[in-house]
Structure 1
Amino acid sequence: MPIFKHEELEDDILHDLIEEINELYEASEQTLIELELTPKDNELQRALFRSVHTIKGDLGLVAFTPMINVLQHLEDLLDLLRKGQIDYTSNMSDLVLLLMDKVKVFVESCVKSGQAEYDSELNDAVIEIILAIDSTNQPRHEGLLAKAVNLIEPSRQLHQEDAPAQNIVNLARSGIPKNLSSEQEVDLLFFRELMKPIEKRAGYAEGRGDRIAKLAFYINALNDKPIDQAQLAVACYVHDFGISFMPAEVVNKETALTSLEQNLLRSHVYKSARLLENLSLWDEARKMVMQHHELVDGSGYPMGLKNEDICDGAKLLAILDKYDGLINPKEQQRKSKKDAVITINKEYKGKLSGHWLRLFNLGMTRLLKD
C-alpha cells in the first residue's frame, strides 16, 4: 500500500486535529444511534453531514490528502440524505463509522510517526459504489452500502460474496454494538438468532431484542456509557430466554395469573441467567439478566434487592423492558410511545431507578420531539 508522509506541522496543530476528529467521531456515533430510532429526523441528518464536512475540511487544512476524496463522496451521499433525495438506510451507519475509523487510524499514525499507510484501491472501490447511489434507485441502496461495508471490513461478510444483499447480517439494524472482538460478535449473533423463535412463542412483537438494545445504547450514551455496551447487548437479547421454558397456557394467559402461575413465570429469570452460567465472558450480562425485575424499593424479584445492590445495567433494562411491553403489548391495547413514557413515570415512581428514569425521560423527549 502507498505511504503518505506529511509536511512538518506544529505539535499543537496535530494535537488539536486528533482531538477534534475524536470529538466528531463520538458525536457522529451518537447521531447515528438516534437516526436508527428516528431515521427521518432531518436535524440529525444535517448534523451527520456537518460532522463529515468538518473532518474533511480539517484534513484539507493540514494537507492530509489521501482520505479527502473518499470523505468528499461520503459527504455527497449525506447531502442527498439531508435534502430528502434518498432515505436513511441502516447500512449508512456502518459505512460512516467504518470510514471515520479509517480516518482516525490514518491521522493517529501521521501524528505519531509522521506517515501513514492508506489503501487507495479500497478508497476508489468505495467511491465507485457511493457514486452508484442516487435518488432513482432506492431499492438498491441497502445492497450497495452492504457491499461497501464488506469491502472495508470483510469480517462483516457472513455469507459468500455473491450472496444476495438481504442475506447479509446487518449489525446497524440489529442491537449489536460495533468494535467487538470476533468471539463477542459470534456470541451476540448467536443470542440474537436464538431469541427470534422465543419472542414468537412468547407472543412478543418481532424484533423485541433489537428494539430494547438500540434504545439501551442510546440512553447509556447519554450518560457517557458507564455500562459496557457488549454486556448490555447480551442482557437485552437473553433476559427473556427463560420464557421459552414456561407453559404456553401460562405465558399467553389473558386472565389474572394464580399465585402458583405467577411464581412459575417469575422463575424465568433463573433460567435466562443459566444460559450464561458457564460463559465467563458474559458474567456482567448474567447479573443484569438476573436482576432486571428487581426494583429499587425492594419490591421486585427474585431476591428483593434494593437500589444500591442492583447493577446499572439491570436498572436500565427494567425500564426498557416495561416500556417495550407497553408499546408492543401481547393482548391489551397498545399505548403510544408518549403515553408509555407517562405511564412508566406514574406507575413506577419510587420503584425504578430515579437516575436512569431521568435519562430515559431525557432520551425519549429528544426522540419524540416531533
Structure 2
Amino acid sequence: MHRQTIAAQVIPDGDALQEFIDALRDYVPSMERNIAQLRSSPDNKELINSLFRTLHNVKGDAAMCRVDLAVAIVHPLETVLDRVRHGSLPFTDQLADVVLLTIDRLELAVASVSSGEELDGLALLPLVNGLERLALAGPANLDDSAAQLIEAVTGFRSASALSVRIVDLASPASARSTAQTDDDLFFFRTLADRLDARSPRFQGRTMRVLRLALETNQIAGYPIDPVQLEAAVCMHDVGMMFLAESTWLKAGALTRAEKAGLRAHPTYAAGLLARMPGWSEAAEMVAQHHEMPDGKGYPAALAAAGICPGAKLLSIIDAFDAIMLRHGEHGRNRSILRAIAEINACDKQFAPQWIECFNRVIRRSVEAR
C-alpha cells in the first residue's frame, strides 16, 4: 500500500501541504537533537520515547493534512522505532543515520511536491522498501540492513559504517534532564521566532541557519555539542532586540554611532545564556560569533586561537545567510553561487577548516535540488 502511494505521487491540497511543511519544520530540530543525544546514550528510554512521539506526531499531521506521501515514508520508520522503544531492537549509529536520512528525504520530497518538481532523484521507493525490511530485521542484522538501505538510497556507505568519530555529548546541558533542556530550547526558539518576525526578509532565517549549522557539524564529525549549537543559533542575534529597530533594520549605511551600538548585540544574548545553568558553551559561541581569525572582529578583537569552534562555524553560516538575503533577487541558484564564492574568498574572516565542511553541505544541497 505504501509503495503504491510513493509510486502514484498524488498531489495533495496546496494549503494543506504548506501547513504540513510548516509543522515539519518545527519538528525536525527536536528529532535531530534526540538523535544526536542517543548516539551518546542509546539506552536512554526518555530520549527514545521523545523521538518516537515526535515522529508519530509527524505522521499524524501528514494524515490530517492528507499528505499521503509523507505518511508512506514515515510509517515504516515509526514501526522500527516502536521496536526500539519496546526493546526488541537496539538504537545504533547505523539506525541513527537511517533516521536522519529519512527525515532529510521527507523534507526534500514535500518541498519538491510543493514546487512541482520531480521526485525521481530522491530514491523514495528504495527508501520505503529498505525501511520495511528494517522493521522486520533482527538485532544481529540490523546494522547490515541499515547500511544496505543507506547505500541503496544515496549510493554511499553511511558515515557510521566507515567508523567516523561520534561526538561525546557529556556537556553541562546534556547532563540535565531532557525536559529541562527542551524547555530552555523552546524558550530560545520562541525568542528567535520573535526576532525573525520583525522583518519579512528574516522569516525562517533561524531554521535555515540551524539546519546548515547542524549539517556542517555532522560532516565534521560532531566536534561541537549539537544541543549547545542549537541554543547558540537560536540566540546569536537575539541581542538585536535590545537595539533600536531603526539601527538593525536600516537599509542604508550605518553611522559610526550606530555601528558601535550594533557591535554590542552579541554580549547581550551571551549574557542571558551565561546566567542560565548549563548553557556556558552556547554563551561563548554567541559572544564570539563576530570575531575573526585575523583579530579584526568584535566585540573583543580575539585572534583565531581564542575563538571557540562553534563561533567559527556560526560566523560562516550567519554570513552566508546574510549574503543570500542580499542577493535574493537574483534567484536561489545564482544567490547560492554568489554567497559561497564570497565566503570562500574571505580567507582572513573565516576559519578554513570549517569552510571545507560547509562547502560540502552546500554542494550536497545543490545536488539534491
Paired residues for 1:256-335 under 5 Å: 256-329=253-326
Aligned to 1:173: none
Which of 94, 101, 119 is residue 24 of structure 1 equivalent to?
Answer: 94
Aligned to 1:139: none
CA distance in 1: counterparts of 2:218 and 2:239, whole angstroms = 28
Shift of 1:323: 1.1
Aligned to 1:339: 338
User: CA, structure 1 residues 193+56, in 2 after alignment: closer, same or farther (shift >3 Å)?
Assistant: same
Aligned to 2:360: 362
Q: Note the aligned Cα RMSD (angstroms).
A: 3.4
Paired residues for 1:162-311 under 5 Å: 181-201=178-198, 204-311=201-308
**Bigger helix share:** 2
CA distance in 1: counterparts of 2:223 and 2:129, whole angstroms = 27
**Amino acid in the other structure paired with 1:267:** A
Does the Cα contact within 8 Å between 2:327 and 2:335 map onto a contact in 1? Answer: no
Point out where structure 1 has 5 or more consecutive residues left out of the alignment.
Answer: 1-16, 65-70, 76-81, 83-176
Shift of 1:207: 1.8
For residues 91-123 of structure 1, the C-alpha deviation after alignment (integer angstroms, 9 at most, x for no partner) is xxxxxxxxxxxxxxxxxxxxxxxxxxxxxxxxx
For residues 17-41 of structure 1, the C-alpha deviation after alignment (integer angstroms, 9 at most, x for no partner) is 989x724313224424643764446
Asked if 1:35 is matched to 2:35, the reply is: no
Paired residues for 1:43-122 under 5 Å: 43=122, 45=124, 48-49=127-128, 51-56=130-135, 58-59=137-138
Does the Cα contact within 8 Å between 2:89 and 2:138 map onto a contact in 1? Answer: no
User: CA, structure 1 residues 305+60, in 2 after alignment: closer, same or farther (shift >3 Å)?
Assistant: closer
| SS at 2:348 equivalent | coil
For residues 177-226 of structure 1, the C-alpha deviation after alignment (integer angstroms, 9 at most, x for no partner) is 9x971111111111111222222225642121111111111111111211
Does the Cα contact within 8 Å between 2:105 and 2:122 map onto a contact in 1? Answer: no
CA distance in 2: counterparts of 1:309 and 1:33, whole angstroms = 36
**Amino acid in the other structure paired with 1:337:** I
Deviates more, 1:214-223 or 1:284-293: 214-223
User: CA, structure 1 residues 226+18, in 2 after alignment: closer, same or farther (shift >3 Å)?
Assistant: farther
The structure whose Rg is larger is 1
Work out the number of aligned pairs and report it.
Answer: 242
TM-score w.r.t. the length of structure 2 is: 0.58
Point out where structure 2 has 5 or more consecutive residues left out of the alignment.
Answer: 1-87, 113-118, 154-173
Does the Cα contact within 8 Å between 1:327 and 1:337 map onto a contact in 2? Answer: yes
| SS at 1:269 equivalent | helix
Aligned to 1:101: none
Aligned to 2:74: none
TM-score w.r.t. the length of structure 1 is: 0.58
Does the Cα contact within 8 Å between 2:89 and 2:139 map onto a contact in 1? Answer: no
User: CA, structure 1 residues 189+364, in 2 after alignment: closer, same or farther (shift >3 Å)?
Assistant: same
Deviates more, 1:271-280 or 1:334-343: 334-343
User: CA, structure 1 residues 29+357, in 2 after alignment: closer, same or farther (shift >3 Å)?
Assistant: farther
